[in-house]
A and B are shown apart, each in its own frame.
Chain A
Amino acid sequence: DGGITQSPKYLFRKEGQNVTLSCEQNLNHDAMYWYRQDPGQGLRLIYYSQIVNDFQKGDIAEGYSVSREKKESFPLTVTSAQKNPTAFYLCASSYRGGAEAFFGQGTRLTVV
């Protein structure tokens, strides 16, 4: 079945460590996105990529990095520079130029 797979579902890290969240899609979508969700704040865009080897910052990119070496994959690294990394992270994808996004099941990151 086609879809978006995020792993792991839960992730715990010590403060000061970098951590990478995985996102893979087999929908043949060109565009992929990372959103951060905090209670009462909706979803905020971290990074997005319209094509392979190209990506742009979203509204809250500071402390995060991404790569897009393959069409199917868009990993997100939460670096030690991110001041408040504990959150629920959602990956999404869509056809290039399209607005309808399909979402993965999310990764809950807890930094202690």
Chain B
Amino acid sequence: AQSVTQPDIHITVSEGASLELRCNYSYGATPYLFWYVQSPGQGLQLLLKYFSGDTLVQGIKGFEAEFKRSQSSFNLRKPSVHWSDAAEYFCAVGPLGSSSNTGKLIFGQGTTLQVKP
């Protein structure tokens, strides 16, 4: 079955420290991969996406993610975290483009990031 796993439910980092949020997926082929961020009580904002090509993807707000096919992973990274990065982060996957493509997304459970001053 298709699934997305974010192993870390909650992460705390100090401001200025580096960050890595893990995401592993189970899928029959290479999916489209996404990271979204959600502030409390708000909708989801797309941070970055991977469809094909270069496996290191740059996103907004200084985030990047690396697709590793051999590990079925798409981990999110940021070199230096800012207090405003405190939020919930969701990894998601979508099916490949085809006549049966529904555009549905499968989400991980989310990782809550807390930033210490």
Contact = CB atoms under 8 A, between A and B. Distances in A.
A43 interface: yes
A81 interface: no
A90 interface: yes
Contacts, number: 71
The binding surface of chain B is classed by DSSP as loop
A43 to B, nearest CB: 4
For chain A, the bracket of interface size reads 20 to 34
B103 A31 contact: yes
Given A40-B9, A42-B110, A99-B95, A104 B105 contact: no
B103 A94 contact: yes
A99 B42 CA distance: 21
Interface of B: 4, 9, 32, 34, 36, 41-46, 49, 51, 90, 92, 94-95, 97, 101-105, 107-110
